[in-house]
Chain A
Amino acid sequence: KNQVEQSPQSLIILEGKNCTLQCNYTVSPFSNLRWYKQDTGRGPVSLTIMTFSENTKSNGRYTATLDADTKQSSLHITASQLSDSASYICVVPRDTDKLIFGTGTRLQVFP
């Protein structure tokens, strides 16, 4: 079954700290993996897309890693800011047309 699982379900950190979110997937065949940020009441916004051949990709303070062999990805946030408070969703396309979304990690950054 094509699935995307994320951990932790929720995370609370202090402003300025780093954190790492995890994603495991079983979607096959694999073409790419995407991380989205979703603020409460808003649509998801793309952070990064990683293809099979990419191991690490950065977007500002966000760094995503991908291990296609173990079917795992992580999203590392450096020097967190209050505005990072959101849900972070790992997404893997099934076939070429449909996205399989994880349930997300809800991150709260406190001052």
Chain B
Amino acid sequence: DTGVSQDPRHKITKRGQNVTFRCDPISEHNRLYWYRQTLGQGPEFLTYFQNEAQLEKSRLLSDRFSAERPKGSFSTLEIQRTEQGDSAMYLCASSLDQGDYTFGSGTRLTVV
């Protein structure tokens, strides 16, 4: 297990299209987090899972966004009807309970 993996690394999509990102956390980590980072800003919390349960969602996560973590392993983040304002780096992180976070390298989304 070499850390948190995110796929794809880059995604360019046309406005209005749906996109889905995947995150594979460190296998023994029970918590998984999604953050969004725009240029020049720190990451902003979107949502997190403890095992398969989604425990909290930020108000930033509009109804066009949905995240799942079936079976408490990998997670997917889907954005429907993408808008230009969705362009950002989407970061996934995992942790064992409240321990240190390990971040993935992120998926950079560009909506044109």
Contact = CB atoms under 8 A, between A and B. Distances in A.
Interface of A: 4, 34, 36, 41-46, 49, 89, 91, 93, 96-99, 101-104
Contact of A46 (B98, B101, B104): B101
Contact of A89 (B4, B42, B45): B42
Nearest to B47: A98
Contacts of B40: 103
Given A97-B55, A101-B43, A45 B48 contact: no
B22 interface: no
Contacts of B79: none
B100 A46 contact: yes
Nearest to B58: A98
Contacts of A43: 4, 6, 91, 93, 103-106
Interface SS, A side: strand
Given A43-B4, A43-B105, A49-B100, A103 B56 contact: no
A102 B37 CA distance: 12
Contacts of B98: 93, 96-97
Please indicate which of the listed interface residues B48, B56, B101 has the most CB atoms of chain A within 10 Å of its own CB: B101
B101 A103 contact: no
B62 interface: no
Interface residues on B, range: 20 to 34
B69 interface: no
Nearest to B41: A103
A99 B101 contact: yes
Contact of B43 (A41, A44, A49, A97): A44
A89 B101 CA distance: 14
B36 to A, nearest CB: 11
B103 A98 contact: no
A103 B108 contact: no
A98 B42 CA distance: 13
19 contacts: A34-B100, A41-B105, A42-B105, A43-B6, A43-B106, A45-B103, A46-B102, A49-B100, A89-B42, A93-B98, A96-B98, A97-B55, A97-B56, A98-B48, A99-B35, A101-B42, A101-B43, A102-B42, A103-B42
